[in-house]
Amino acid sequence: MDANKHIFLIGFMGSGKTTVGRMLSESTDRPFIDLDHLIEDEQGKTIPELFEALGESGFRALERQALRTCERKNPSVVSTGGGLPCFYDSMDVMKHMGATIYLKTSPVELARRLQPEAAKRPLLKGVVLEQLPAHIASMLSKRESFYLQADYVIETDGLSDTAVMQRCLAILR
């Protein structure tokens, strides 16, 4: 693990980036940055409100700015929004600033986890429950070519958050 660089967790919504990121920050004694929360704090609005006010492209521009602010921060564990790696040159930017880990979760498992909160998520709102796995599979198929550029991939299906965190530690060691 390069002590001078960030650790980025990337992956689809519901893949465990925030939970695992928090645990990893404690284990590595690094600060934790959640880019979605950073944007919400800076803008004084929730993610759904920002999507509503600015549209997706406006939100992606904010994500890009937020990512750039990491350049000036101490080596941290950074959890990113699910779409961030797929816009602009964000994968290259992250790889330049540190190690990237893709938490890879199957569409069926993601649908199971996201089902209760789908209505609160701008990109899943309005999708009927039976369509959720197929909708997620379709989004994932467009995104995976970005996610798979990560330095490391951890398959999370069937693993607890602690087990995923331990795998992160093992690959970074």
Binding site for ligand S3P (CB under 6 A): 13, 17, 36, 47, 81-83, 121-123
Q: How many residues in total does the chain contain?
A: 173
CB-wise, 84 or 99, nearer to ligand S3P?
84
CB-wise, 17 or 104, nearer to ligand S3P?
17
For residue 79, the SS3 value is: strand
- C-alpha atoms less than 13 angstroms from C-alpha of 50 in its C-beta half-sphere: 21
Shortest Å, Cβ 30 to ligand S3P: 19
CB-wise, 4 or 57, nearer to ligand S3P?
57
Shortest Å, Cβ 66 to ligand S3P: 10
Shortest Å, Cβ 4 to ligand S3P: 26
Shortest Å, Cβ 92 to ligand S3P: 19
CB-wise, 1 or 137, nearer to ligand S3P?
137
How far apart, in whole angstroms, are the C-alpha atoms of residue 165 and residue 155? 12
Shortest Å, Cβ 102 to ligand S3P: 12
3-state secondary structure 57-68: HHHHHHHHHHHH
CB-wise, 135 or 167, nearer to ligand S3P?
135
Shortest Å, Cβ 134 to ligand S3P: 16
For residue 102, the SS3 value is: strand
Q: Please name the residue that has the structure tokens 């406006």.
A: 58
CB-wise, 1 or 121, nearer to ligand S3P?
121
- In one-letter notation, the amino acid at residue 47 is I
Q: What DSSP line would sit under 5-46, residue for residue?
A: SEEEEE-STTSSHHHHHHHHHHHHT--EEEHHHHHHHHHTS-
- In one-letter notation, the amino acid at residue 77 is V
